[in-house]
Amino acid sequence: MDAPGSTSVSTTPLATPSAGARWQLYRLLGEPIRLRLLALASAEELAIGELAELLGESQPNVSRHVGPMRKAGLLAERKQGTRLFVFLTDGARRDAVVADALVAGLALAEADGSLSRIAAVLGAREAATRELFGRPRELAPLGQLPPELPAYLTALAPLIAQRALAVDAGTGDGNLLDVLAPVFERVVAVDREEAQLSRARERVALRGYGNVDLVCGALDDAKVRAAVKRRAGDAGGADVVFASRVLHHAPKPAAAMKALAQLVRPGGHVVVIDYATHEDERLRAEQADVWLGFSAEELRRLAHTAGLGAPAVSAIPLTRNGTGPDKHLSWQVLIARRPPQPSKSVTPARKRS
């Protein structure tokens, strides 16, 4: 497989000489080696070295024949690092003289077996790759998420229609930012503890997340609402507000849910990830949990009380809970929507009688 490198393509428009100069194209295609070269380049994009192997010629000799054919617009070149690939141009395929030359060249390439050997040449390209990945080596534990996950999410982002602004409510050390920052155009990450935000700030700097604003404050603080409003502009709020394992720390869950709802725009969504009801009292002492989870009905009721509509609760598979002290609990996700603003109807003016 070719080593990564800069790619450049060099093409020359196919000349359309006058009838008197047409003989030059015939002369160019008058050598059997050029006919075979033309045929091989029409079948596959091949490197100079690969063409030399197929033709049984030296690389300098192949390059010597490629040069005038490229200048005539029959062949194009693509540079990949130190390798030069050659292929037939679209214009050449439409030329009647070249079409005749291709018929002759393909016949020659079939007769000497070079055309059928292209498959072996292409197979050799991936030999190094197969050897590398077939070699026993130390692998990362399967329980770890791939470090290139932000790159995968960046590729996924254009498929999400509404991703102008997200709020990470209770960001902590910024774990969720590795999911949100690659997907959303802007992210406002909120936490009321500066000690937590300092760690999140390190993550943002390390990853180069220039689209993240870190705000220290409670969810219902005026400066938090102002930061979201400033980034939201005319939308009036975030497209999505996330609260991952935050609600069970809230002294008043209903007030916390209402604060989340106030940060989302009309038509936007609130996403709450939290525990299902459990009996593990250790989390009160070890993780300062106030509530031992919530039932699905409790989460739906909290959403309704906050003015959110269509609340739906679904379970998260236990195998996706990570490796933290709460990995043994049942997690669930609530998704609810802030109702869109009703469209303003214009009442037609009454006619005077």
State pLDDT tens for residues 204-228: 999 999 999 999 999 999 999 999 9
Assess whether pLDDT exceeds 50 at residue 17. Answer: no
Q: Give the pLDDT score at 127.
A: 87
Percent of the chain whose predicted confidence (pLDDT) is above 90: 76
Range scoring the smallest mean pLDDT among 31-35, 149-153, 176-180, 263-267 = 149-153
Best CA proximity match to 168, nearest among 222, 208, 212: 212
**253: which DSSP letter?**
H
- Structure confidence at residue 93 as a pLDDT band (50, 70, 90): confident
Q: Give the pLDDT score at 350.
A: 56
Which token pair is 170? 């209770």
Which token pair is 232? 């939201």
Average pLDDT, the chain: 89
Which token pair is 78? 């693509």
Q: How far is it, in rounded angstroms, from Cα 196 to Cα 31?
A: 74
Assess whether pLDDT exceeds 60 at residue 40. Answer: yes
Domains of the chain: 7-14+22-134 (1.10.10.10), 149-337 (3.40.50.150)
- Structure confidence at residue 4 as a pLDDT band (50, 70, 90): very low
Assess whether pLDDT exceeds 60 at residue 2. Answer: no
Average of pLDDT values for 118-146?
Answer: 81
Percent of the chain whose predicted confidence (pLDDT) is above 70: 89
Considering the entire predicted model, what is its pTM? 0.74
Range scoring the smallest mean pLDDT among 8-17, 23-32, 40-49 = 8-17
Q: How far is it, in rounded angstroms, from Cα 87 to Cα 66?
A: 10
- Could you tell me which residues come within 8 angstroms of residue 246 by beta carbon, excluding any fewer than 6 positions away? 169, 170, 256, 272, 274
If phi > 0 it is left, if psi is from -120 to 50 it is alpha, else beta; for residue 322 that is: left
Assess whether pLDDT exceeds 60 at residue 6. Answer: no
Q: Give the pLDDT score at 65.
A: 96
Cβ atoms within 10 Å of 174's Cβ, excluding its own = 26
Number of residues that this document lists for the chain: 353
- Structure confidence at residue 14 as a pLDDT band (50, 70, 90): low
Average of pLDDT values for 172-200?
Answer: 94
Supply angle C-alpha 120, 91, 108, rounded to 5. Answer: 40
> Which segments of 6-119 are extended strands (E)?
7-10, 46-47, 75-80, 83-88
Which token pair is 61? 């000799």
- Structure confidence at residue 353 as a pLDDT band (50, 70, 90): very low
First CA to last CA distance, the chain: 84
Q: How far is it, in rounded angstroms, from Cα 17 to Cα 97?
A: 12
Best CA proximity match to 219, nearest among 186, 254, 195: 254
Average of pLDDT values for 75-94?
Answer: 93
Q: How far is it, in rounded angstroms, from Cα 64 to Cα 273?
A: 66
Assess whether pLDDT exceeds 80 at residue 343. Answer: no
Residue type for 45, please?
Answer: E
Tell me the chain's radius of gyration from C-alpha atoms: 32
> Which segments of the chain are extended strands (E)?
7-10, 46-47, 75-80, 83-88, 165-169, 186-191, 212-216, 238-244, 264-275, 309-316, 331-337
Q: Give the pLDDT score at 344.
A: 63
With beta carbons less than 8 A apart as the criterion, state whether 338 and 307 touch: yes
Q: Give the pLDDT score at 347.
A: 56
- Structure confidence at residue 142 as a pLDDT band (50, 70, 90): low
| Strand partners for 84 | 79
Assess whether pLDDT exceeds 60 at residue 114. Answer: yes
Assess whether pLDDT exceeds 60 at residue 346. Answer: no
- Structure confidence at residue 128 as a pLDDT band (50, 70, 90): confident
* Class of residue 159 by CB neighbours under 10 A (exposed 0-12, middle 13-18, buried 19+): exposed
Q: Give the pLDDT score at 19.
A: 47
Sign of CA dihedral 262, 219, 273, 166: positive
Q: What share of residues in the chain are helix, strand, coil (percent, to 5)?
A: 45, 20, 35
